[in-house]
């Protein structure tokens, strides 16, 4: 007993030292407490602010039709799903959503996962093992990088958005080769050169998997994402992962692909098999979101107009914009402390734009990750630009 106490105390002391180091390096992270639904204006830590830090790109997270769908879903199915999909957790609502997602992505089938993170882990583990090769863009989302490590395949990263570097790495011999890429890079907002990646993969007999967490709903005339933007088909991108918690304003994720791919995931994806199905009511919310995302093309048009307005204004102010045509419009600030200082000055002006620091982004590339949504107005974008002009003075 006594020895256990000592071990517990030693652990706390060691952890305390590590936490102290994070604080000293301006890498300590704090959670803000939100008191309102997502939207252009939210109350965070008791303060009303203009919100430029959500992934609610279409402004659907607090939409009444999604809320109604959840209410109806709870009335029809209760709250908890009670079991995994393969036991008794797979409701008619989940099944209908899968069929609608398959139709939306123009693929034979789709399979729901509880989150994008779990979907990525599940795909890699189901498709890859020892003797296989996983090739990743250097700036891929953490869940893709973790998926590569977890599946036991040989993992290599290629230079960001560089199809030529990928092609060189694809010459390695392997049983099966999977190329994994974000469609839209989550912290930079740029698009992967998907046609070139698809070409390199096809040439080498490799499979391309695209994680379109930030493209779906937003890009393409009908919101079908990066693949619609580039006019790519199933043969070029056999594995498509999309999330339901960002532009769709709900929760969860899905994979869309061939019959054989989806059946394989059902049989082999451990993060599908060994976890409780999400509540059916959330599937109903996602169904409502999918309908709105398709019907309300004005959301995408308005968002694109806001992106153009922000970029024109930021260019005039000489702000350090990145090359991005998506709602993710980061300002590259470099040092961690600088990003925190600018973020804090914005907060004093009632603007929330969260600083993103290593290890989420590479060292020396700390930034403000500004995101625009269809819920913002042009006036609010102008207020953001005014606040940025103030906050960037002298920095
Ligand atoms: C957010 C995100 C995920 C994870 O999705 P969740 O549903 O939030 O778990 C995966 N990939 C990318 C690129 C993301 O931005």
pLDDT digits (tens, 9 = 90+) for 130-149: 999 999 999 999 999 999 99
114 is annotated as an active-site residue:
no
- pLDDT tens-digit map of 347-363: 999 999 999 999 999 99
Q: DSSP assignment of 335-375, as one string?
A: SHHHHHHHHHHHHHTTEE--EE-TTTS-TT-EEEEEE--TT
213 close to ligand 1 (CB < 6 Angstrom): yes
Task: Give the pLDDT confidence score for residue 5 in this predicted structure.
Answer: 74
Tokens coding 354: 């969260």
**Residue 129 backbone phi and psi in degrees, to 5:** -160, -165
Q: Which residue has 């007999």 as its token pair?
A: 205
243 close to ligand 1 (CB < 6 Angstrom): yes
Spacing, Cα 364 to ligand 1 middle (Å):
23
How open is the CA angle 368-349-61, to the nearest 5 degrees? Answer: 60
For residues 9-27, average pLDDT: 94
23 is annotated as an active-site residue:
no
Catalytic residue among 143, 186, 226, 343: 186
For residue 251, which atom of ligand 1 is closest to its CA? 7
169 close to ligand 1 (CB < 6 Angstrom): no
For residue 141, which atom of ligand 1 is closest to its CA? 13
Protein residue with its CA nearest to atom 4 in ligand 1? 116
Protein residue with its CA nearest to atom 14 in ligand 1? 213
At residue 2 the predicted structure's pLDDT band, cuts being 50, 70 and 90, is: low
Residue 284: C-alpha distances to residues 66, 116, 166 (Å):
8, 18, 40
Pairwise CA distance, residues 100 & 249, whole Å? 16
| % of the chain with per-residue pLDDT over 70 | 99
Catalytic residue among 214, 229, 302, 376: 214
Task: Give the pLDDT confidence score for residue 341 in this predicted structure.
Answer: 95
Q: Is pLDDT of 1 > 60?
A: no
Q: Which of 184, 213, 217, 249 maximizes ligand 1 atoms within 8 Å of its Cβ, making it the mutation to test the pocket?
A: 213
* 48 DSSP β-pair partners: 43
185 close to ligand 1 (CB < 6 Angstrom): no
Spacing, Cα 55 to ligand 1 middle (Å):
10
Pairwise CA distance, residues 310 & 227, whole Å? 25
Nearest to 158 by CA among 173, 172, 174: 172
Quick one: how far is CA 300 from the chain centroid?
A: 18
Protein residue with its CA nearest to atom 6 in ligand 1? 116
- pLDDT tens-digit map of 35-62: 999 999 999 999 999 999 999 999 999 9
Q: Is pLDDT of 164 > 90?
A: yes
Nearest to 380 by CA among 301, 296, 306: 306
- At 207 the three-state DSSP class reads strand
* Dihedral angle computed from the Cα positions of residues 196, 197, 202 and 205, in that order, rounded to the nearest 10 degrees: 150
Average pLDDT across the chain, whole number: 96
Residue 75: C-alpha distances to residues 7, 37, 138, 280, 308 (Å):
49, 22, 45, 10, 43
For residue 243, which atom of ligand 1 is closest to its CA? 7
Task: Give the pLDDT confidence score for residue 97 in this predicted structure.
Answer: 98
Task: Give the pLDDT confidence score for residue 139 in this predicted structure.
Answer: 96
Nearest to 352 by CA among 46, 49, 39: 49
Spacing, Cα 61 to ligand 1 middle (Å):
16
143 close to ligand 1 (CB < 6 Angstrom): yes
Protein residue with its CA nearest to atom 5 in ligand 1? 116
| Whole-prediction pTM | 0.96
Q: Is pLDDT of 160 > 70?
A: yes
**Residue 385 backbone phi and psi in degrees, to 5:** -65, -40
Q: Which of 212, 241, 243, 326 maximizes ligand 1 atoms within 8 Å of its Cβ, making it the mutation to test the pocket?
A: 243
Pairwise CA distance, residues 125 & 122, whole Å? 5
115 close to ligand 1 (CB < 6 Angstrom): yes
214 is annotated as an active-site residue:
yes
214 close to ligand 1 (CB < 6 Angstrom): yes
């Amino acid at each position: 007993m006594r020895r256990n106490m000592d071990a517990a105390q030693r652990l706390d002391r060691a952890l305390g030292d590590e936490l102290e180091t994070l604080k000293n390096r301006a890498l300590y992270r704090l959670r803000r407490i939100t008191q309102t639904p997502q939207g252009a204006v939210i109350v965070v830590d008791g303060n009303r602010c203009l919100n430029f830090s959500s992934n609610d790109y279409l402004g659907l997270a607090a939409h009444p039709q999604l809320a109604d769908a959840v209410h109806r879903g709870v009335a029809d199915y209760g709250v908890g799903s009670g079991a995994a999909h393969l036991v008794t957790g797979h409701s008619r609502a989940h099944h209908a959503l899968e069929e609608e997602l398959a139709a939306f992505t123009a693929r034979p089938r789709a399979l729901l996962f509880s989150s994008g993170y779990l979907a990525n882990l599940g795909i890699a583990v189901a498709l890859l093992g020892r003797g296989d090769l996983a090739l990743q863009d250097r700036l891929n989302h953490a869940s893709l990088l973790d998926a590569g490590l977890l599946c036991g395949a040989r993992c290599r990263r290629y230079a960001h958005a560089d199809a030529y570097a990928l092609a060189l790495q694809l010459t390695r011999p392997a049983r099966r080769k999977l190329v994994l890429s974000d469609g839209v890079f989550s912290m930079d907002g740029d698009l992967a050169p998907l046609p070139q990646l698809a070409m390199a993969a096809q040439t080498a007999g490799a499979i391309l998997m695209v994680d379109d967490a930030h493209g779906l709903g937003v890009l393409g005339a009908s919101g079908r994402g990066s693949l619609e933007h580039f006019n790519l088909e199933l043969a070029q991108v056999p594995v498509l992962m999309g999330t339901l918690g960002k532009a769709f304003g709900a929760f969860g994720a899905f994979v869309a692909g061939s019959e054989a791919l989806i059946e394989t995931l059902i049989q082999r994806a451990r993060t599908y098999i060994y976890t409780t199905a999400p509540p059916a009511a959330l599937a109903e919310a996602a169904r409502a979101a999918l309908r709105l995302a398709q019907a309300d093309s004005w959301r995408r048009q308005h968002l694109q107009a806001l992106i153009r307005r922000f970029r024109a204004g930021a260019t005039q102010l000489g702000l350090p914009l990145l090359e991005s045509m998506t709602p993710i419009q980061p300002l590259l600030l470099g040092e961690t402390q600088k990003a925190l200082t600018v973020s804090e000055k914005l907060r004093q002006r009632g603007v929330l734009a969260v600083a993103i620091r290593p290890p989420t982004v590479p060292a020396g590339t700390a930034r403000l990750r500004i995101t625009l949504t269809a819920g913002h107005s042009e006036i609010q974008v102008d207020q953001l630009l005014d606040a940025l002009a103030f906050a960037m003075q002298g920095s």
